[in-house]
Amino acid sequence: MSTDDSAPQKVDSFAALRYKDFRSYIGMRFFFTFAYQMQTTVLGFYIYQLTHSKIAIAFIGLAEAIPAVGIALYGGYIADKYEKRKMLLIIFAGVFVAALAMFTVTLDSLKAYIHHAWILPTLYAMIFCNGLARAFYGPATFVIYANSIPKDLYPNGSTWSSSSWQVASILGPLTGGAIYGFAGHIIPGLSGITATFVIILAFLLVALVLVYLLRKFPPVFVPKENIWKSLKEGLDFVFTNKIMFYAMSLDLFSVFFGGVVALLPVFALDILKVGPEGLGIMRMATSLGAALTMITMVRFSPMNRPWRNLLIAVAGFGLAIIGFGLSRVFYLSLIFLFLQGAFDSVSVIIRGTLMQLLTPDHMRGRVSAVNSMFIGSSNEIGDFESGVAAKLMGTVPAVIFGGSMTILIVTLTFLKTKKLLPLSLTEIHTPQAGEKVA
């Protein structure tokens, strides 16, 4: 019996998950993100409760962004040059020690021995250490992802990777907010911050074990030139590739102006008055919108016209931020946060796929480091901008201003990149589409 070769092939939505190293990578990323999101949620609320200062919130983002940006290029250089599994074991051990220090300094039982004035400096110092770890974490995981599945599975793998990150980002804030708010009612005398850090430390240990289960990822590039010349090569590649440059720039400035995460404790305490439990739900709503959208995109890819879809997604992100700033009803605010996450997830999938396809194997660490400077740290720098803007303009005007600036940035990018709008993914992945920036 003859077969019909023209019949449509069944899409294997689980193709990337059939590779052991990719499964270990996904698990490691899930538990690390879960712990990180819990920590970010409760630290922001805890510090705002201690200080009632928007500038104090702004310094959370700044403390992490300074090292993450300052040594990102060096982190990429190291990720290209050294074995990645060993790098991650060292990184996760350092993050665990930093979390243990924050757990210790916030313990109620030690408050008699730790002067109140030391709590904030210690927390900021450990957040700074997390920023140092992130400078190496991003490039190392970028390389591991690229070598854990075949190139033709990058779009499928990017969707699963981003989806697992978003699911962890849903459960992390929700769990952190719930434990922070209810721990004292369940176990009298137990503070929310203490109970939350117990879970954080446990999940970081699980992530560390999953890193250990990865195979070794030896370097594919051993630079013969000095470090500065090697780093310049990575920068030149990004800044002369039109698609990569504009994609990174679009994300950097939209998140810089449009991020509202840092101000959610202010909305939870002072505007919507929903407490730490409400804060966890608000953080969850953004990630829930992203996760559901990404699950949908496993079957319905946004890569048919990636550049057009990217601009539409970022514009929707800006409009959702404006809506959130104007809302005074908790459930309506959740809807806008859900939409913000949904639109952002589309742009994450598109940018992640383009980055993987356009980057040569021997430059993945350095290109990822440049990407980390643009995107990985834009959230923290945006948090600092949000806190300062809220102090100067007021919380609500700062959010509306940020969303409006995002719309303006999309408009300017559209005017500069009109020729990219009709291109398919195949057409973009060519030397012509990757032409130098004018």
Mean pLDDT of the chain: 80
Domain of 236 in residue numbering reads as 16-217+227-428
Please name the residue that has the structure tokens 């243990």. 100
Q: Whole-angstrom Cα distance, residue 267 to residue 327?
A: 11
Other CB atoms within 10 Å distance of the CB of residue 236: 11
- Which CATH number belongs to the domain containing residue 33 in this structure? 1.20.1250.20
Q: Whole-angstrom Cα distance, residue 47 to residue 59?
A: 10
| Residue, of 362 and 170, whose pLDDT is higher | 170
| pLDDT over 50 (residue 432) | no
| Half-sphere CA count of 46, side-chain side, radius 13 A | 26
Q: Is residue 208 part of a domain?
A: yes
Q: Is residue 338 part of a domain?
A: yes
**What is the tens place of the pLDDT at every residue in 288-339?**
888 788 778 777 777 778 888 889 999 999 999 999 999 999 999 999 999 9
Q: Does residue 154 sit in helix, strand or coil?
A: helix
- In this structure, of 245-254, 389-398, 425-434, the range with the lowest mean pLDDT score is 425-434
Q: Is residue 56 part of a domain?
A: yes
| pLDDT over 60 (residue 435) | no
CB 31 within 8 A of CB 169: no
**What is the tens place of the pLDDT at every residue in 242-267?**
777 788 778 777 777 877 777 888 89
| Residue, of 190 and 128, whose pLDDT is higher | 128
- The separation between CA 93 and the C-alpha centre of its own chain, rounded to angstroms, equals 20
Res. 209 pLDDT band, cuts 50 70 90:
very high
CB 80 within 8 A of CB 221: yes
CB 280 within 8 A of CB 178: yes
Helices and strands of the chain, counted as H and E runs: 17, 0
The confidence score (pLDDT) of residue 437 equals: 47
| Half-sphere CA count of 150, side-chain side, radius 13 A | 4
Q: What type of residue is 246?
A: Y
The confidence score (pLDDT) of residue 2 equals: 44
Inter-CA distances, 232 with 135, 138, 140, 240, 354, Å: 17, 19, 19, 12, 21
**What is the tens place of the pLDDT at every residue in 292-305?**
887 787 777 777 78
Average pLDDT estimate for 273-286: 84
Q: Is residue 434 part of a domain?
A: no
Q: Whole-angstrom Cα distance, residue 74 to residue 93?
A: 20
Q: Whole-angstrom Cα distance, residue 298 to residue 344?
A: 16
**What is the tens place of the pLDDT at every residue in 125-166?**
999 999 889 888 877 887 788 788 887 787 778 778 877 887
Q: Whole-angstrom Cα distance, residue 136 to residue 68?
A: 8
Q: Is residue 7 part of a domain?
A: no
| Residue, of 371 and 404, whose pLDDT is higher | 404
- The separation between CA 341 and the C-alpha centre of its own chain, rounded to angstroms, equals 12
| pLDDT over 70 (residue 24) | yes
CB 388 within 8 A of CB 263: no
Of the chain, the end-to-end C-alpha distance in Å amounts to 56
pTM as predicted = 0.70
Q: Whole-angstrom Cα distance, residue 305 to residue 422?
A: 6
Q: Is residue 5 part of a domain?
A: no
Q: Provide the domain count of the chain.
A: 1
Q: Is residue 373 part of a domain?
A: yes
CB 364 within 8 A of CB 237: no
- Residue 401 burial (10 A CB sphere; 0-12, 13-18, 19+): buried
Please choose, from the candidates 138, 153, 179, the residue with its C-alpha nearest in 3D space to the C-alpha of residue 365: 138
The confidence score (pLDDT) of residue 220 equals: 63
Q: Provide the greatest CA pair distance for the chain.
A: 83
Q: Is residue 305 part of a domain?
A: yes
